[in-house]
Amino acid sequence: MANRDKTIWAFVAIGSVVVIAHALLGITIGEGYAIPTTIVGAAAAAFILKGPVGHALARRIQGAEPSELPPEQVLAELDELRTRVAELEERADFSERLLARHRTGDQGEA
């Protein structure tokens, strides 16, 4: 079974469990529980599925492959981060050399 099919069935199974549990609680507790929680749950589900999570799920279900190359903005930010990490490595090396020089100077005086 394809990975996409497994994902779809996982969402169907989770959704079914949630609906059954909600129905059983509604029957047990009554309308005072069932009506408000149904409204809040439906609103929350709509809000979540309209956002990036819903769009990702839709792309996953449709079988769309992620783009092979990240956008130019991400590549530029990655280059900037690499430059900053290189600068930090140079500073750490300098600090280590300075500290080692200081330690050897202290040991000679004692």
- What local confidence, expressed as pLDDT, does residue 71 receive? 79
Please state the domain extents for the chain: 1-66, 68-110
C-alpha 38/C-alpha 23 separation (Å) is 10
Tens digit of each residue's pLDDT (9 = 90 or more) over 7-18: 778 888 888 888
Asked whether 65 and 2 are in contact (CB, 8 A), the reply is no
Please tell me the distance from the alpha carbon of residue 49 to that of residue 52, in angstroms, as a whole number.
7
Is the pLDDT reported for residue 109 higher than 60?
no
pLDDT digits (tens, 9 = 90+) for 32-62: 888 888 888 889 888 888 988 888 878 777 7
pLDDT: which is higher, 51 or 63: 51
Average pLDDT, the chain: 83
